[in-house]
Amino acid sequence: MKGSRHFRVSALLSACVMSLIATASWSQSLTWLGTLGGAGSVAFGVSADGSVVVGYADDAAGQVRAFRWTASGGMQNLGTLGGDRSEAYGVSANGSVVVGWTENDAGQYRAFRWTASDGMVGLGTLGGNQSEARGVSADGLVVVGVAENDAGFSRAFRWTASDGMVGLGTLGGAGSVAFGVSADGLVVVGFADNAAGQLRAFRWTASDGMEDLNTTYASLLTNGSYLELATAISPDGRYIVGAGYNAATSRLEAFLLDTVPEPASLLALGAGLVGLLRRRGKQ
């Protein structure tokens, strides 16, 4: 009886694995998205389920335009705010909100937020003439990017409908750029100048402000290595990716930073559950 039960458990696990393999192989596909009538296109963002893609493409007149693509509707030109160019860089998890930058009729860069109901809406600036949106939260309500302030310096910003565009400061230097935001919109990453004029990766929260990742995670950096750019963050805010200087190889390299190490207690719990399942399978 025990042997029969163990066999059924093993058989069930094997069947599940084979089913997953079969499903994965049948679901593989490659879709070319085309252009807006011109020579090329580039994708920069995708919705959570893969049904919506955003980026920019050439139109028939050779002008660069932000696009939103779906399988049913194809590539949609999102237009501009009166200027000659627009580019889309991020999309909300459900695919309904697109962000990026465009030129207005005065040739100035403006961050934009696009929805089907409102179209392309400019998000303003921090007193200067330029702004670009680089990332958007899962629900589309928080947008991050870079804008020019009234002194002409670039500043990372976080935008919401209630607060408008809010500058996030710097690390003591002249400028900063926000590139990514967590799913809930509470954690922003990017890069900024420090007081010595060096480019350094940052993480921003309302409670802690802008922190230099090189300071927070100094124990992980050895022999003169440093993190220069933070370009994206995982939806839960745990993982940060970007580029930095690896002193061991004397070159700029991509990095993956895990900000929350796995607690030993969780590892022990996981091992215990595995052991329990194995014992039950043998009963």
- Residue 188's closest CA among 164, 169, 163, 161? 169
DSSP H or E segment with residue 27: helix 2-27
What is the average per-residue pLDDT within 84-88?
Answer: 97
What is the average per-residue pLDDT within 273-279?
Answer: 54
Which positions ≥6 away from 149 have C-beta within 8 Å? 125, 126, 127, 128, 155, 167
What is the average per-residue pLDDT within 178-182?
Answer: 95
The answer to the question of residue 180 being in a domain is yes
Tens digit of each residue's pLDDT (9 = 90 or more) over 41-58: 998 999 989 899 999 999
The answer to the question of residue 122 being in a domain is yes
The answer to the question of residue 2 being in a domain is no
The answer to the question of residue 135 being in a domain is yes
Q: Which two tokens stand for residue 123?
A: 């998000």
The answer to the question of residue 1 being in a domain is no
The answer to the question of residue 14 being in a domain is no
Q: Residue 193 sits in a domain of what CATH number?
A: 2.120.10.30
Quote the domain boundaries for residue 112: 38-282
The answer to the question of residue 106 being in a domain is yes
Q: Which two tokens stand for residue 116?
A: 């089907």
What is the average per-residue pLDDT within 263-278?
Answer: 52
Residues 9 and 62: their CA atoms lie apart, in Å, by 61
Residues 18 and 14: their CA atoms lie apart, in Å, by 6
The answer to the question of residue 92 being in a domain is yes
pTM confidence score: 0.77
Tens digit of each residue's pLDDT (9 = 90 or more) over 212-262: 999 999 999 989 999 999 999 999 999 999 999 999 999 999 999 999 865
> What is residue 43's predicted lDDT score, i.e. its pLDDT?
87
> Taking 60 as the threshold, does the pLDDT of residue 4 lie above it?
no
Residues 201 and 120: their CA atoms lie apart, in Å, by 30
The answer to which of 116-125, 219-228, 261-270 has the lowest mean pLDDT is 261-270
Overall number of domains in the chain: 1
| Inter-residue contact 171 to 212 (CB < 8 Å) | yes
> What is residue 7's predicted lDDT score, i.e. its pLDDT?
43
